[in-house]
């Protein structure tokens, strides 16, 4: 099939084989006579390991710990920060922290032995919540204040705004843990081969794994080859976490001199994997006598857990997005990454942005409602435009099509009429949210840190292979990239080969994360295909290579966080309509409408699917996805008590797009995988608050919480707490 208009949908290349069940995920490989591994983990949130009592080990079974590292081996996982140990040594900081790995030939025997391992601890008082972390409950265990990381941003003169204000209001907005529930649980296998090791893993970022775990055996990254296996969903949960799975496997394979594999079951995966950071954002907003915003101060606290790993970057993105789609006269934001004794939080679709966007959207609704103004009317006073200053004192480079998107959503949802007709507290409500997501790595990170490279190889038979490290995890990249190459070269897409990456044969084009794959690597492929095109008919067997080049004239300082954080944002508008049962507090969602700007879409159907999935995942986060942790243990440990949306829970979505070609993306495309998550929870909560007439400050919002707000909540019109 020759690709027509780039946006017109084509069949995904992996659709039929996935339907038939013939695509292999990591648990579908046999891996010959591999051993089984099972992690032995801390059962307490905080303390010291005093002794480990092992049962008698049958032949061929072994318990592997940090003591088995070779001379020169470094017992840390080299993520963005290098503070997360592969194996706990003396101290444990969270329930589920890896202490060792039990390995042996028979899976059941391994499990049986694992259960017999007894560990004596000296327990210490854990700090579990953000507040407990800040209060250094049980004594600080990171620095002297439990603050893993911090940053601050300032635009304009906030202090002056507070001096001039007629009124200063303050409130705190909170969000909870969210579990990824990729349908395929974590799993990997490590096999020794000649002078190196081969890892097969369900993951997003094969090169991250090599880099992160090779120091365990004092090896260079090229000695740990990662072969990506088709991944059954990831959403950020397989960005760094596979390092935690693969590290112990590598050490076990080294000790046993044999392949070792490990497939988590669901309960193990939910209890012992990273989550979305819980957040607490406290605003202090200066208003003039008419209620206009003069300045906004925010303290953004994220629950980082026991180790920092990637969280500073998550927190940065959170703070950069704390002004949402708005431009306020002055802002200040302080971000704090709080150490607690919970499983370290990590990447999850949106990477820190959803929390602050939810917070600012909700805060603006509350101010508007206090003033008796329609939230949409109030928010629209502050919509950011091209050329306006961002939260990092950069400028918005592109045209912002919020007005056009808003028109689409208003028309589809009948917002104006419903917003007037459904009185606050009437049991019906419509809500609306605005959101964005900066595409790719922040600032010049793509150039300074990632340095992506990509190759195209033409074979004598006319086939073209794409060589890069991007992974397919459901988002459709195995279709998107070949589509771009085929389109430029004018060849059928069947002639373009794109395999799961193997780090020993592809260049490092960076992680499959940060909504960067289409925007950045897609552009590398487009450019490479353009280089190949004039030679395609003349030459038989050759390779072209492209490197990322950052556009000139958009400075960024990663030390001060000043400048152009993102050149291309995705933008979104979402409306949600609900009805609340006055007796049971049950919510029925009557409609969901969204419009998104992802530049010029590469494939409308793939974009449509991303919108549907992201919006629904955001609605789950805002409503039923309760993941509690009050004593260091996650309370929800299965899919029957952690409730994600089914096909019955929400109605069909109205999906709209605007076309806003991005000059530096392939065919004008920008990132969108995370954008589509960022706003639906805020629209939903806006709708529910209006329906019940109460101010909602916290998500998730299961039915019992709705009831709670209905009975004890604060009226939407009441004054927000004032401070000076």
Residues within the interface to ligand FES (CB under 6 A)? 183, 233, 474
Shortest distance, CB of residue 347 to another protein, whole angstroms? 16
Query: Which partner in ligand FES, another protein, none is near 105 (CB below 5 to 8 A by kind)?
Result: none
- The residue (of 181 and 493) whose beta carbon lies closer to ligand FES is 181
Handedness of CA 643, 644, 647, 650 (dihedral sign): positive
541, 590 in Cβ contact below 8 A? no
Least distance between ligand FES and beta carbon 516 (Å):
21
In the list 609, 666, 700, 713, the residue contacting another protein (rule: CB under 8 A) is: 609
| Nearest in space to 568 (alpha carbons), one of 527, 522, 603 | 522
Q: Which residue reads 């900081």 in tokens?
A: 93
Residue 605 within binding range of another protein, rule CB under 8 A: yes
117 binds another protein (CB under 8 A): no
Sign (positive/negative) of CA torsion 569, 698, 46, 267?
Answer: negative
Query: How far, in Å, CA of 589 to CA of 606, rounded?
Result: 25
Three-class SS string for 391-442?
A: CCCCECCCCCCHHHHHHHHHHHHCHHHHHHHCCCCCCEEEEEEEEEEECCCC
Nearest approach in angstroms of CB 45 to another protein is 26
Looking at 6-65, which runs of residues are DSSP E strands? 35-41, 47-53, 62-64
Which of another protein, ligand FES, none has residue 638 at its interface (CB below 5 to 8 Å by kind)? another protein
Q: Contacts with another protein in 251-280 (CB under 8 A)?
A: 265-267
Classify residue 537 by its DSSP letter: T
- Residue 200: phi, psi to the nearest 5? -110, 125
Segment interacting with another protein (CB under 8 A) among 45-53, 125-133, 409-417, 611-619: 611-619
Size of the residue set binding another protein (CB under 8 A)? 57
Residue 461 interacts with which of ligand FES, another protein, none, CB < 5 to 8 Å by class:
none
Q: Does 48 bind another protein (CB under 8 A)?
A: no
**Residue of 124, 146, 229, 230 that binds another protein (CB under 8 A):** 230
In the complex, least distance from residue 132 CB atom to another protein, rounded to whole angstroms: 31
Nearest to 376 by CA among 313, 332, 326, 338: 326
Residue 711 binds another protein, judged by CB under 8 A? no
Q: Smaller CB distance to another protein: residue 231 or 285?
A: 231
Compute the C-alpha angle 611/615/620, nearest 5°. 150
Q: Is 167 in the site for another protein (CB under 8 A)?
A: no
Token digits of residue 188: 């990997």
The mark string for 403-422 relative to another protein (x by CB under 8 A, - otherwise) is --------------------
Tell me how far apart the alpha carbons of residues 466 and 269 are, in angstroms, rounded to a whole number: 33
Is residue 394 a contact partner of residue 554, using CB atoms and an 8 Å limit?
yes
- Give dist(CA 201, CA 209) in Å, integer: 9
Binding residues among 615-634 for another protein as defined by CB under 8 A:
615-617
Contact between 499 and another protein per CB under 8 A:
no
Pick what 647 binds: ligand FES, another protein, none; C-beta below 5 to 8 Å, kind-dependent. Answer: another protein
- What are residue 1's DSSP bridge partners? none
Instruction: Find the residue with minimal CB distance to ligand FES.
Output: 183
Chain centroid to Cα 110, Å, comes to: 33
The encoded tokens of residue 324 equal 């949402």
Distance CA 95, CA 108 (A): 23
- In the list 67, 257, 289, 652, the residue contacting another protein (rule: CB under 8 A) is 652
The least distance separating another protein from the CB of residue 123, rounded to whole angstroms, comes to 31
How would you write 153-188 as a 3-class SS string? EEECCHHHHHHHCCEEEEEEEEECCECCCCCCCCEE
Contact stretch for another protein (CB under 8 A) within 7-15, 43-51, 242-250, 691-699: 7-15
Which helix (H) or strand (E) element contains residue 470? none
- Distance separating the N- and C-terminal Cα atoms of the chain: 66
- Report the partner that residue 88 touches, choosing among another protein, ligand FES, none (CB closer than 5 to 8 A by kind): none
From the list ligand FES, another protein, none, which binds 16 (C-beta under 5 to 8 Å, kind-based)?
Answer: another protein
* Candidate list 413, 436, 653, 697; residue touching another protein; CB under 8 A: 653
Q: Is 647 in the site for another protein (CB under 8 A)?
A: yes
Among 2, 8, 24, 89, binds another protein (CB under 8 A): 24
Query: Is 594 an interacting residue with respect to another protein (CB under 8 A)?
Result: no
**Nearest CA to 180 among 359, 306, 347?**
347
641 versus 719: smaller Cβ distance to another protein = 641
Residue of 67, 646, 712, 724 that binds another protein (CB under 8 A): 646
- E strands, 45-107, where? 47-53, 62-64, 76-77, 84-85, 91-92, 98-104
Per-position x/- string for 28-47, each x denoting binding to another protein as judged by CB under 8 A, each - no binding: x-------------------
Sign, CA dihedral 221-227-229-230, equals positive
User: Which of 21, 32, 72, 553: binder of another protein (CB under 8 A)?
Assistant: 21
Residues whose CB is less than 8 angstroms from the CB of residue 257 and which lie 6 or more positions away in sequence, other chains included: 192
Nearest to 14 by CA among 472, 443, 425: 472
* DSSP-assigned letter for residue 386: T
The entry of ligand FES, another protein, none that residue 529 binds, CB within 5 to 8 Å by partner kind: none
φ, ψ dihedrals at 291, nearest 5° = 90, 5
Q: Using the rule CB under 8 A, is 494 a contact of another protein? A: no
Minimum gap (Å) between residue 622 Cβ and another protein:
14
DSSP 120: E
Closer by beta carbon to another protein, 530 or else 638? 638
The reply to whether 637 sits near another protein by the rule CB under 8 A is: no
Single residue of 235, 564, 621, 664 touching another protein by CB under 8 A: 235
Residue of 99, 332, 346, 271 whose CA lies nearest to 633: 271
Closest to ligand FES by CB, 104 vs 609, is: 609
One residue of 138, 278, 474, 700 binding another protein per CB under 8 A: 474
Q: For another protein, which stretch binds (CB under 8 A), given 52-60, 411-419, 646-654, 702-710? A: 646-654
Question: Which of the choices ligand FES, another protein, none does residue 20 contact, using the CB cut-off of 5 to 8 A by kind?
Answer: another protein
Residues that bind another protein (CB under 8 A): 9, 11-12, 14-16, 18-25, 27-28, 180-185, 230-235, 265-267, 473-476, 605-606, 608-609, 611-617, 638-640, 644-648, 650, 652-653
């Amino acid at each position: 099939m020759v690709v027509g208009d780039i946006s017109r949908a084509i069949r995904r290349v992996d659709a039929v084989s996935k339907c038939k069940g013939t695509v292999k995920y990591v648990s579908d490989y046999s891996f010959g006579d591999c051993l089984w591994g099972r992690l032995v983990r801390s059962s307490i949130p905080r303390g010291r390991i005093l002794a480990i009592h092992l049962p008698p080990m049958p032949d061929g079974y072994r318990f592997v710990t940090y003591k088995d590292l070779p001379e020169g081996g470094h017992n840390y996982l080299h993520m963005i920060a290098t503070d997360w140990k592969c194996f706990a040594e003396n101290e444990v900081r969270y329930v589920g922290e890896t202490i060792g790995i039990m390995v042996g030939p028979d899976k059941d025997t391994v499990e049986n032995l694992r259960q017999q391992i007894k560990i004596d601890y000296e327990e210490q008082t854990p700090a579990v919540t953000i507040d407990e972390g800040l209060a250094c409950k049980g004594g600080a265990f990171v620095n002297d204040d439990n603050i893993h990381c911090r940053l601050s941003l300032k635009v304009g003169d906030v202090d002056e705004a507070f001096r001039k204000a007629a009124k200063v209001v303050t409130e705190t907005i909170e969000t909870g843990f969210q579990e990824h529930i990729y349908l395929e649980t974590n799993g990997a296998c490590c096999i020794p081969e000649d002078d190196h090791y081969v890892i097969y893993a369900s993951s997003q970022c094969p090169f991250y794994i090599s880099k992160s775990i090779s120091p365990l055996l004092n090896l260079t990254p090229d000695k740990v080859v990662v072969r990506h296996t088709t991944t059954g969903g990831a959403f950020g949960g397989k960005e760094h976490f596979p390092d935690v799975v693969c590290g112990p496997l590598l050490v076990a394979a080294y000790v046993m001199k044999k392949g070792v594999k490990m497939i988590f079951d669901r309960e193990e995966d939910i209890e012992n994997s990273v989550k979305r950071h819980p957040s607490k954002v406290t605003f202090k907003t200066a208003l003039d006598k008419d209620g206009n915003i003069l300045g906004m101060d925010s303290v953004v606290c994220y629950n980082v857990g026991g180790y920092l790993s990637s969280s500073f970057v998550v927190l940065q993105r959170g703070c950069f997005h704390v002004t949402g789609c708005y431009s306020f006269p002055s802002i200040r934001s302080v971000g704090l990454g709080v150490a607690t004794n919970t499983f370290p939080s990590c990447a999850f679709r949106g990477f820190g942005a959803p929390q602050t966007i939810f917070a600012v959207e909700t805060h603006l609704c509350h101010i508007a409602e206090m003033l008796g103004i329609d939230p949409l009317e109030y928010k629209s006073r502050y919509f950011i435009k091209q050329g306006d200053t961002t939260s990092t004192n950069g400028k918005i480079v592109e045209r912002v099509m919020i007005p056009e998107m808003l028109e689409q959503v208003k028309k589809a949802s009948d917002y104006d009429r419903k917003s007037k007709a459904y009185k606050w507290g009437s049991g019906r409500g419509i809500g609306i949210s605005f959101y964005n997501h900066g595409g790719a790595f922040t600032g010049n990170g793509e150039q300074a840190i990632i340095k992506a490279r990509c190759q195209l190889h033409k074979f004598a038979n006319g086939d073209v292979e794409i060589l890069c490290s991007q992974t397919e995890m459901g988002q459709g990249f195995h279709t998107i990239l070949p589509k771009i190459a085929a389109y430029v070269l004018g060849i059928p897409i069947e002639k373009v080969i794109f395999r799961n990456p193997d780090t020993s044969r592809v260049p490092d084009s960076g992680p499959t994360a940060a909504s960067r794959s289409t925007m950045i690597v897609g552009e590398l492929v487009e450019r490479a295909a353009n280089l190949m095109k004039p030679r395609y008919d003349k030459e038989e067997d050759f390779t072209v290579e492209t490197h990322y080049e950052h556009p000139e004239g958009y400075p960024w300082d990663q030390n001060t966080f000043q400048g152009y954080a993102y050149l291309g944002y995705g933008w979104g508008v979402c409306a949600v309509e609900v009805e609340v049962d006055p007796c049971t507090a049950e919510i029925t969602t009557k409609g969901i409408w969204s419009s998104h700007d992802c530049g010029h879409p590469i494939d409308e159907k793939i974009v449509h699917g991303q919108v549907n999935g992201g919006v629904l995942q955001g609605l789950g986060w805002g409503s039923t996805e309760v993941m509690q942790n009050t004593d260091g243990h996650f309370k929800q440990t299965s899919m029957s008590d952690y409730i994600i949306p089914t096909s019955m829970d929400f109605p069909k979505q109205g999906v709209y797009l605007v076309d806003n070609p991005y000059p530096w993306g392939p065919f004008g495309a920008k990132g969108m995988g995370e954008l589509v998550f960022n706003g639906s929870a805020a629209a939903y909560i806006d709708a529910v608050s209006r329906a019940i007439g109460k101010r909602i400050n916290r998500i998730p919002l299961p039915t019992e919480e709705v009831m709670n707000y209905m009975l004890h909540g604060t009226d939407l019109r009441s004054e927000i707490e004032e401070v000076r």
